[in-house]
């Protein structure tokens, strides 16, 4: 009952209050997902052409780049011609800063996102209002593929719940509208897991949402404590690759299918499984996904470094942005019949849970986010836990990295791990991915055994 009121009354009222059109856009993308592949590709090509023209005329970085290469937007005759442009790296984004912003927007009117980097590389991205709302509509569409519907209760296994930083208004909004129960993935222990399970029993969620490894950890907890009553309509696993053994346990314990989703903060949703739970549909209404090693034959699956062109954020155009993951484009057609192209595999962004001396666990994703966002001057970061009382931080330092940053690291380590853990900083030139494309940004040498056994020690 409340879900229905929430969906049909409160959400529209709140959108109206904030002048947000995301619910309107949501109706458009609900319809367009069933368009045939050719229609989707034609729409993407039209968007690319608009973007190239816009970038050339209003963005200093692209104006200079096009001039250097000796091309103008009308020279591009097909999507493949985008390969004339070099890839846009995270390093280049940091270097260019405001030169990537379009003069057609006032900076003060844009939405600033500081991304942690779920890959350990902090970045600052600006998004215009249309892009923000359009992307929210696309994300809502894929969220609903899981079986959950807007307005229904959600349980999130996630670090740093945002609403807690927004005072009473945030709490009020969460209670009535967002309806999310959180299990904070910083400082997890048996009692936090038990409280979360009790809360979900009392107020059953329609959706369980979180990082793959955090959801798995909660599934393990429920499994060993024989808690089988938590049965949402769906589960969305995101932020890192979902392994088959994790999916199997979650589906057994929570008695519903897991929807695997892939995104990054810079462009939001990249791809998601639909209700068929096979390959992941690319969010082609917002992005163009290409791989650097694209094969010339479209009937063969191609694997390579993913480069994304954001088709809707005109405030800060990202053209051929190398996100840092390796993906395989699929040639299978999904039984759902949607024309959205598909990805069968994503490699990258693995992270372990780390342990504190008092038996708490911290999600590697949440931990990296904390360090990457709170410490000044970090260009890239990898965290290694060699023993229970040691933490090694491999850091590619930026120009702002100083002795103050080292002090910040010490105090953040103490606040998260307690006074007995010592952190050591090693400055390095680069942190490399495995040749497979896998990138482990948080490695624990001591948490390889199942969490329940580690916690009993
Ligand atoms: Zn499908």
- What's the CA-to-centroid distance between 291 and ligand 1, angstroms? 21
Around ion ligand 1, residues with a beta carbon closer than 5 Å are: 274, 276, 334, 336
Distance from the CA of 337 to the center of ligand 1, in angstroms? 6
What are φ and ψ of residue 20, in 5° steps?
-95, 135
CA of 334 from ligand 1 middle (Å) equals: 5
Tell me how far the alpha carbon of residue 289 lies from the centroid of ligand 1, in angstroms.
Answer: 17
121 vs 422: CA distance, rounded Å: 23
CA distance 182 to 208: 10
pLDDT, residue 451, reads: 41
- The predicted pLDDT at position 406 comes to 94
Question: How much distance in Å is there from the Cα of 436 to the middle of ligand 1?
Answer: 26
Q: How far is the CA of 159 from the centre of ligand 1 (A)?
A: 30
Mention every residue, 6+ apart, whose C-beta is less than 8 A from residue 17. Answer: none
For ligand 1, the distance from its centroid to the CA atom of residue 136, given in whole angstroms, is 20
Residue 447 Cα to ligand 1 middle (Å)? 36
Cα–Cα separations (whole angstroms), residue 183 to 155, 159, 214, 229: 8, 8, 9, 18
Looking at the DSSP assignment, which residues form a beta bridge with residue 309?
288
Residue-wise DSSP of 344-380: EEEE--EE-EEE-TTS-EEEHHHHHHHHHHHSTTEEE
Do residues 286 and 268 lie in contact, with contact meaning Cβ atoms separated by under 8 Å? Answer: yes
Q: What is the pLDDT of residue 455?
A: 34
3-state secondary structure labels for all residues of 157-184: EECCCHHHHHHHHHHHHHHHHHCEEEEE
Ligand 1 centroid vs 345 CA: distance in angstroms? Answer: 15
pLDDT at 368: 86
Instruction: Tell me how far the alpha carbon of residue 405 is from its chain's centroid.
Output: 26
Per-residue pLDDT at 297: 47
* pLDDT score, position 223: 95
Are 228 and 177 spatial neighbours (Cβ–Cβ below 8 Å)?
no
Q: Give 325 Cα–ligand 1 centroid separation in angstroms.
A: 22
Q: pLDDT at position 116, please?
A: 66
Please tell me the distance between residue 328's alpha carbon and the centre of ligand 1 in angstroms: 16
For residue 233, the CA-to-ligand 1 centroid distance in Å is 18
DSSP 3-state of 171: helix
User: What is the distance in A from the centroid of ligand 1 to the CA of 142?
Assistant: 11
Please state whether beta strands 390-397 and 378-387 pair in parallel, antiparallel, or not at all (unpaired). antiparallel
Q: Distance between CA 149 and CA 280 in Å, rounded?
A: 20
CA 272–ligand 1 middle distance (angstroms)? 9
Q: Identify which of 414, 363, 372 has the alpha carbon closest to the alpha carbon of residue 184.
A: 363
d(CA 184, CA 347): 26
Q: Which two tokens stand for residue 167?
A: 């005072």
Cα of 39 vs centre of ligand 1, distance in Å, is 17
Predicted confidence pLDDT, tens digits, the chain (457 residues): 888 998 999 899 999 999 999 999 999 999 999 999 999 999 999 999 999 999 999 999 999 999 999 999 999 999 999 999 999 998 899 899 899 999 999 999 999 988 765 566 788 999 999 999 999 999 999 999 999 999 999 999 988 777 777 788 888 888 888 889 999 988 889 999 999 999 999 999 999 999 998 999 999 999 999 999 999 999 999 988 888 989 999 999 999 999 999 998 899 999 999 999 999 999 999 999 999 875 454 555 678 889 999 999 999 999 999 988 888 889 888 999 999 999 998 887 778 889 999 888 898 888 888 888 888 888 888 999 999 999 999 998 988 899 999 999 999 999 999 999 999 999 998 887 666 666 788 899 987 544 433 333 2
Q: Are 342 and 330 in contact (CB under 8 A)?
A: yes
Question: Separation of 158 CA from ligand 1 center, angstroms?
Answer: 27
282 CA from centroid of ligand 1 (Å) = 10
pLDDT at 437: 60
The closest alpha carbon to 423, from 415, 431, 435, belongs to: 415
Residue 344 Cα to ligand 1 midpoint, Å, equals 12
Give distance in angstroms: CA of 273 to centre of ligand 1.
Answer: 7
Does this model's pTM top 0.85? My answer is yes
Q: Enumerate residues 6+ apart whose C-beta is below 8 A from 221.
A: 190, 193, 194, 197, 227, 452
Evaluate whether 315 touches 113 at the Cβ level (below 8 Å): no
Nearest by Cα to 373 from 117, 110, 89: 117
Distance 236 CA to ligand 1 centre (A): 15
In the reported structure, the alpha carbon of residue 208 is separated from the centroid of ligand 1 by a whole-number distance in angstroms of: 20
CA 35 to ligand 1 center in whole angstroms: 13
Give me ligand 1 centre to Cα 207, in Å.
19
Q: Output the CA 271–ligand 1 centroid distance in Å.
A: 11
The answer to whether 305 and 317 are in contact (CB under 8 A) is no
Distance 286 CA to ligand 1 centre (A): 17
Q: How many other CB atoms are there within 10 angstroms of residue 278's CB atom? A: 17
The 10 Å Cβ neighbour count of residue 418 is 13
DSSP string, 295-307: -S-TTS--EEEEE
d(CA 421, ligand 1 centre) in Å:
47
């Amino acid at each position: 009952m409340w879900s229905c009121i929430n969906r049909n009354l409160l959400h529209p009222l709140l959108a109206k209050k904030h002048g947000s059109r995301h619910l309107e856009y949501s109706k458009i993308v609900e319809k367009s997902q069933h368009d045939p592949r050719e229609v989707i590709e034609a729409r993407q090509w039209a968007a690319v052409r608009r973007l190239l023209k816009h970038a050339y005329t209003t963005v200093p970085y692209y104006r200079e780049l096009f001039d250097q290469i000796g091309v103008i937007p009308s020279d591009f005759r097909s999507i493949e011609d985008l390969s004339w442009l070099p890839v846009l790296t995270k390093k280049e984004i940091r270097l260019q800063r405001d030169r990537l912003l379009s003069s057609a927007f006032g900076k003060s009117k844009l939405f600033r996102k500081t991304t942690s980097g779920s890959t350990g590389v902090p970045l600052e991205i600006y998004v215009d209002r249309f892009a923000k709302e359009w992307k929210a509509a696309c994300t809502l569409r894929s969220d609903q593929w899981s079986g959950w519907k807007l307005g229904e209760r959600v349980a999130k296994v996630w670090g740093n719940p945002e609403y807690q930083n927004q005072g009473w208004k945030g709490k009020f909004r969460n209670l009535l509208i967002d309806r999310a129960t959180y299990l904070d993935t910083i400082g997890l222990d048996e009692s936090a897991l038990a409280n979360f399970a009790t809360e979900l029993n009392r107020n059953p969620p329609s959706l369980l949402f979180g990082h793959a490894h955090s959801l798995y950890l909660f599934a393990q907890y429920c499994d060993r404590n024989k808690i089988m009553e938590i049965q949402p309509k769906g589960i969305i696993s995101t932020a890192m690759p979902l392994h088959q053994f994790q999916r199997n346990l979650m589906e057994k314990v929570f008695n519903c299918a897991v929807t695997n989703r892939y995104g990054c903060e810079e462009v939001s949703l990249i791809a998601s499984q639909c209700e068929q739970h096979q390959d992941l549909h690319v969010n082609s209404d917002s992005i163009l996904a290409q791989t650097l090693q694209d094969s010339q034959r479209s009937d063969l699956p191609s694997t390579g470094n993913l480069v994304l062109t954001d088709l809707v954020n005109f405030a800060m155009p990202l053209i051929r942005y190398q996100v840092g993951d390796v993906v395989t484009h699929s040639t299978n057609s999904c039984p759902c019949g949607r024309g959205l192209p598909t990805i069968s595999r994503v490699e990258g962004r693995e992270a372990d849970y780390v342990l504190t001396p008092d038996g708490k666990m911290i999600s590697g994703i949440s931990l990296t986010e904390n360090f990457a966002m709170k410490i000044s001057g970090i260009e890239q970061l990898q965290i290694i836990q060699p023993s229970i009382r040691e933490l090694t931080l491999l850091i590619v330092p930026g120009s702002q990295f100083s002795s103050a940053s080292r002090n910040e690291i010490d105090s953040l380590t103490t606040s998260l791990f307690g006074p007995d853990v010592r952190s050591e900083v090693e400055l390095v030139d680069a942190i490399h991915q495995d040749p497979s494309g896998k990138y482990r940004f948080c490695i624990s040498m001591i948490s390889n055994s199942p969490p329940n056994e580690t916690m009993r020690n």
